[in-house]
Structure formats: C-alpha cells, structure tokens
Amino acid sequence: MPVRWSYLPCSWQGWLTYVPYIGFLVLTFIVIDGNSHSVSDTLIGIVPVWVAAVAVMQWLASHKT
C-alpha cells in the first residue's frame, strides 16, 4: 500500500520482511560503530550500506504491491 514516499505492508508476510531488514540495520550499525573511532567514521561507514538497504526495500515494496 503506497504511503507518501514509502510503502506499508498489507499482510503479515509483508510485515515479516521488515524483521530481517531492521535486524540488518541494527547489526550493521553495531559492527561499523564498533570498528570506528569517531562519529564521522560511523556515518561514513553506515550511510552507503543503509542507502543500499533502503533502495532494496523500496524496490521490493514497489514490485510486490
């Protein structure tokens, strides 16, 4: 279901796809933040990974609606 610039799942299977997505975001933050020495290192490491993850989820949502 399209909502503004994003999508909301319409079924429990759709909501279930968000569980590994959120887990991936949290895990990448923990790993990248643990290996960085400053906030800027963390941001430089996280931004490309998170942008790619958001792009994949947006693509999946737009093609499964």
Angle at CA of residue 41, ends 18 and 35, nearest 5°: 75
Q: In the predicted model, what is the mean pLDDT of the chain?
A: 87
For residue 31, how many other CB atoms are within 10 A of its CB?
13
Sign of CA dihedral 48, 6, 56, 16: positive
pTM beyond cutoff 0.85: no
**φ/ψ (deg, to 5) at 37:** -110, -5
For position 27, what pLDDT does the model report? 96
Please write the tens of the pLDDT for every residue from 42-59. Answer: 999 999 999 999 999 888
